[in-house]
Amino acid sequence: MKSKLALFASIFLTVLPIFAQDEYQTVNWTGNTREGSSGWALSSVADNWSGGTFPSASTNVVFDNDYLSGDKVVSIHTTSGFTCNDYTVTSNYTGHQIRVDGTMTINGNFTSLVKATTSLLSNGSNNSAAVLNIGKNVIVGVQGDTTGSQYELKIGESTSNQWGGWGGPKNVTIGGDVILYELGRLNFNVNLKGRTADYSNPDIDIKGVMRFEGDGNNNPQIRVINASTKYADSNKNTFSSEPVEVVLACNGISGNGVISNNSNGSIDNGPSKAIILLRNDSIQYFAGWIQDGQNCTTKIVMNGTGTQYFTSGNKDPEKPTQGICFTGGLEMINGTLSMRYDHPINHGDLEMRGGTLQNDSVSSAWNVNFTNLIYDGGTITSRWDGSNIDVITLTGALQKGENFADGDKFLIKISSTDVSNLTDERIIAWDNIANKTDFTEDDFEATYFEGYEALFDIKDDGLYLSYIAVPEPAAFAAIFGLLSLAFCICRRRK
């Protein structure tokens, strides 16, 4: 009997979490029931929710016109934070906006299914701005829907949060993926005035992958910085915000879409900078575009253990905003970044701290443009097809980084099966007439190929590489034997 009870208890304890994890109550927003408020409502009024149940961690919140019994308002305000499991805006609930004080916590998924703008805003500004935590995925749009209006989610208003209490949260954490379907749009305005970019504490921290589910013709979009308009006070005076640096971190980018920015709200004070920090722990392929956008630059930082592929190409200088066309710089720390080398634009400074940078162009070899190349470590891969080699072209200088020590080597990997005719090929191009490098030929090291020695030569217009055939040990022995025999013959003749 005791054994049967023990078995029953064991089974009960095993299956209990399975049932418990699905026991979420659905709570529908029923509209404003409070008199005296015009155009807005409080989330803290229980009567504004179905069954008088205020949302909590055990409820799934749904916004659906079919459940409205009170007034549908433009804006819903929280007064002391907000917590729920899933948060869903259905296809018939247009014009949804929630303004948050404190912390908004969505433990499950946030899903926007409406062809209109859904906004998650902050009631506070600067250091008093709200914090947004989403435990699982952010989903915008409906898969396969490619006609009509866009599905737009705005996290933060399109004006800066530096002036008033209507802007974006000061930071956002998303525990899963960001999934954007064909007509999906996601615009962030998440920052703090005067905050310095911090890779260890990103403003937008996406633990999963940014998934762009585009089909090539209809492609979703993300704006990392969406502060497109100046602040206007009650007297219609406009104020330009200060430019910001915003770090968006993710576990890679996949699919087909567009990454861009709009920081015209700070246009009188200079451009902002969006920094995309790639923390890939696996392989991801992105066939879309990465742009600077308006009054902004975009920088890419690779610091993962996996590989990120950027496969979009553009050889047309008349179309500078298509393809992989960021200009804010590229910093390699760890992992592998494989990007198309065929874009004519200058990407800014290339900072090699570690990891591997390589060409992903479909054709054999292309040119990629940077301003300065600062090298501390890592590997640059160049592809040699027997007649052409990848070239990095600099408008500035080739410099040692502050962590490059005596005895360290600048590592260049040559991707090829035959280097027999790789002779005097330029692999890094720059104007060196003014001695714009502190490297010497001995600081470089290239891939070893049996029977060949790699020789570097720094010239006025760049770094050149040659592979010189060296005799095999047997050949050395034969040459030495012939020399010895000749020496003996000469002695006998004397």
Query: What tokens does 3 get?
Result: 């054994």
pLDDT digits (tens, 9 = 90+) for 355-370: 999 998 766 678 999 9
Domain membership of residue 9 (yes or no) is: no
Burial zone of 148 (CB within 10 Å; 0-12 exposed, 13-18 middle, 19+ buried): exposed
- Residue 161: pLDDT over 80: no
Q: What is residue 492's predicted lDDT score, i.e. its pLDDT?
A: 52
CB atoms within 10 A of CB 301: 22
Q: Pick the residue with more confidence: 244 or 218?
A: 218
- Residue 60: pLDDT over 70: yes
How far is the C-alpha of 254 from the C-alpha of 180, rounded, in Å? Answer: 11
As a whole number, mean pLDDT of residues 291-307 equals 97
Burial zone of 354 (CB within 10 Å; 0-12 exposed, 13-18 middle, 19+ buried): middle
Question: pLDDT averaged over the chain?
Answer: 87
pLDDT band at 239 (very low <50, low <70, confident <90, very high): confident
DSSP 8-state class, residue 240: P
How far is the C-alpha of 267 from the C-alpha of 309, rounded, in Å? Answer: 33
pLDDT digits (tens, 9 = 90+) for 372-410: 999 999 999 999 999 999 999 999 999 999 999 999 999
Ramachandran area for residue 141 (φ above 0: left; ψ -120 to 50: alpha; else beta): left
Q: What is residue 348's predicted lDDT score, i.e. its pLDDT?
A: 97
Three-state SS across 99-123?
Answer: EECCEEEECCCEEECCCCEEEEEEC
Question: Percent of the chain beyond pLDDT 90?
Answer: 63
How far is the C-alpha of 219 from the C-alpha of 318, rounded, in Å? Answer: 22
Domain membership of residue 8 (yes or no) is: no
Domain membership of residue 157 (yes or no) is: yes
Q: What is residue 18's predicted lDDT score, i.e. its pLDDT?
A: 46
Q: Pick the residue with more confidence: 165 or 50?
A: 50
Quickly tell me which residue has 């330029």 as its tokens.
426
Domain membership of residue 5 (yes or no) is: no
pLDDT band at 95 (very low <50, low <70, confident <90, very high): confident
* CA neighbor of 423 nearest in space, from 390, 380, 387: 387
pLDDT digits (tens, 9 = 90+) for 162-219: 655 456 788 999 999 999 999 999 999 987 666 788 999 999 999 999 999 999 999 9
Domain limits for position 475: 25-479
* CA neighbor of 202 nearest in space, from 245, 261, 162: 245
Q: What is the residue type of 184?
A: G
Three-state SS across 51-62?
Answer: HHCCCCCCEEEE
As a whole number, mean pLDDT of residues 48-71 equals 92
Question: Percent of the chain beyond pLDDT 70?
Answer: 86
Quickly tell me which residue has 């600099």 as its tokens.
394
Domain membership of residue 484 (yes or no) is: no
91 near 111, Cβ under 8 Å? Answer: no
Q: What is residue 19's predicted lDDT score, i.e. its pLDDT?
A: 46
Q: What is residue 353's predicted lDDT score, i.e. its pLDDT?
A: 98
pLDDT digits (tens, 9 = 90+) for 118-155: 998 887 666 678 899 999 999 999 999 999 999 999 99
Domain membership of residue 489 (yes or no) is: no
Q: How many domains does the chain have?
A: 1
Query: What tokens does 315 get?
Result: 């050889």
pLDDT band at 251 (very low <50, low <70, confident <90, very high): very high
Q: pTM higher than 0.75 for the full model?
A: yes
How far is the C-alpha of 266 from the C-alpha of 160, rounded, in Å? Answer: 8
- Residue 436: pLDDT over 90: no
Least confident of 32-36, 106-110, 276-280: 32-36
pLDDT digits (tens, 9 = 90+) for 309-339: 999 977 677 777 889 999 999 999 999 999 9
Interacting residues of 4 by C-beta distance below 8 A, sequence separation 6+: none
Domain membership of residue 364 (yes or no) is: yes
Q: Which value, in Å, is the radius of gyration of the alpha carbons in the chain?
A: 30
Strand 59-63 relative to strand 25-28, pairing: parallel
* Four-CA torsion 425, 430, 431, 437, nearest 10 degrees: -100
Q: Order of strands, edge to edge, in the sheet holding 391-394?
A: 367-370, 391-394, 425-429, 462-469, 452-459
How far is the C-alpha of 174 from the C-alpha of 235, rounded, in Å? Answer: 38
CB atoms within 10 A of CB 395: 12
As a whole number, mean pLDDT of residues 50-73 equals 91
Q: What is residue 160's predicted lDDT score, i.e. its pLDDT?
A: 64
pLDDT digits (tens, 9 = 90+) for 461-485: 999 999 999 986 554 444 445 555 4
* CA neighbor of 220 nearest in space, from 169, 170, 255: 255
How far is the C-alpha of 210 from the C-alpha of 166, rounded, in Å? Answer: 26
Burial zone of 322 (CB within 10 Å; 0-12 exposed, 13-18 middle, 19+ buried): middle
357 near 381, Cβ under 8 Å? Answer: yes
204 near 134, Cβ under 8 Å? Answer: no
Which phi and psi angles does 452 have, rounded to 5°? -135, 150
Domain membership of residue 7 (yes or no) is: no
How far is the C-alpha of 248 from the C-alpha of 270, rounded, in Å? Answer: 20
Q: What is residue 4's predicted lDDT score, i.e. its pLDDT?
A: 53
